[in-house]
């Protein structure tokens, strides 16, 4: 599918009711990743956020943040850092626990993943309440990094996650608002 505007990505996103728990409607962006033109559009648009040299690293949150983060790091000519769920990283790590809309979760990062003063672009697929991104940003900052921006493919505006991230530059390619055709 040829994508000319970010809003056109919405036609590829599936809505899955009651996943992962009853009452939650999950927006599945895997069809965006499957479509070569859509994926290229996502990476190209996010790479426009910063000029070469403004970012030292891209950090991606497990798991869909990896799918976007690694090619974005490549395009920007910088390294990539994974932020993972507990028990997935093999070496010394830092951990932060946070609240989700439907429970508690945690993320971890290797203690040497970010050096003091490095500028980091944090990426993930979707901004809902902001808990995951806030936790990931705090890990980067605990290691001495500077979060220069946080970028998402999708933002659910009515869940007000951007408010939790108000001290950061937050970018999203597409936004869903309550009542504009989205079920969430």
The residues with which 81 forms a beta bridge, in sequence order, are 59
Q: Is residue 183 part of a domain?
A: no
Q: Give the residue numbers spanning the domain of 63.
A: 51-176
Domain count, the chain: 1
How confident is the model over 71-92, as pLDDT tens digits? 999 999 999 999 999 999 999 9
| Among the listed residues 56, 61, 29, 25, the one whose alpha carbon sits nearest the alpha carbon of residue 42 | 29
SS3 for 69-86 is: HHHHHHHHCCEEEEEECC
Q: How much is the pLDDT for 51?
A: 84
Tell me which residues are annotated as active site.
64, 101
In this prediction the pTM is 0.93
Tell me if 127 sits within 8 A of 61, measured CB to CB: no
pLDDT beyond 50 at 184? no
DSSP string, 135-177: HHHHHHHHTT-EEEEEEEEEEEGGGTHHHHTTTS-EEEEEEE-
Q: Is residue 144 part of a domain?
A: yes
How confident is the model over 98-140, as pLDDT tens digits? 987 667 999 999 999 999 999 999 999 999 999 999 999 999 9
- Compute the mean pLDDT over every residue in the chain, rounded to the nearest whole number: 93
Q: Is residue 43 part of a domain?
A: no
CATH code assigned at 74: 3.40.50.2020
Q: Is residue 28 part of a domain?
A: no
Tell me if 60 sits within 8 A of 66, measured CB to CB: yes
Q: Is residue 60 part of a domain?
A: yes
How confident is the model over 134-171, as pLDDT tens digits? 999 999 999 999 999 999 999 999 999 999 999 999 99
Q: Is residue 57 part of a domain?
A: yes
11-50 as b/e, with b when 16 or more CB fall inside 10 Å? ebbeeeeeeeeeeeeebebeebbebeebbebbbebbbebb
Q: Is residue 81 part of a domain?
A: yes
Tally of residues, the chain:
184
Distance separating alpha carbons of residues 106 and 91, to the nearest angstrom = 17
Tell me if 147 sits within 8 A of 125, measured CB to CB: no
Eight-state DSSP code of residue 118: -
Distance separating alpha carbons of residues 98 and 6, to the nearest angstrom = 30
Q: Is residue 139 part of a domain?
A: yes
């Amino acid at each position: 599918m040829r994508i000319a505007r970010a809003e056109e990505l919405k036609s590829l996103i599936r809505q899955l009711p009651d996943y992962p728990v009853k009452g939650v409607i999950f927006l599945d962006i895997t069809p965006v990743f499957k479509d070569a033109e859509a994926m290229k559009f996502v990476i190209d648009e996010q790479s426009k956020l910063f000029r070469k040299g403004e970012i030292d690293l891209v950090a991606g949150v497990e798991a869909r943040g990896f799918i976007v983060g690694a090619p974005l790091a490549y395009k920007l000519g910088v390294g990539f850092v994974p932020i993972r769920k507990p028990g997935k990283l093999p070496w010394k790590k830092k951990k932060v626990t946070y609240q989700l809309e439907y429970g508690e979760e945690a993320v971890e990062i290797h203690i040497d993943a970010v050096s003091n003063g490095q500028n980091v672009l944090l990426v993930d697929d979707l901004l809902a309440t902001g808990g995951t991104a806030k936790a990931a940003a705090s890990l980067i900052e605990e290691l001495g990094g500077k979060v220069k921006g946080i970028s998402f493919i999708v933002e659910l505006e009515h869940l007000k996650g951007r408010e939790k991230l108000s001290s950061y530059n937050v970018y999203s390619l597409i936004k869903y608002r309550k009542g504009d055709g989205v079920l969430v």
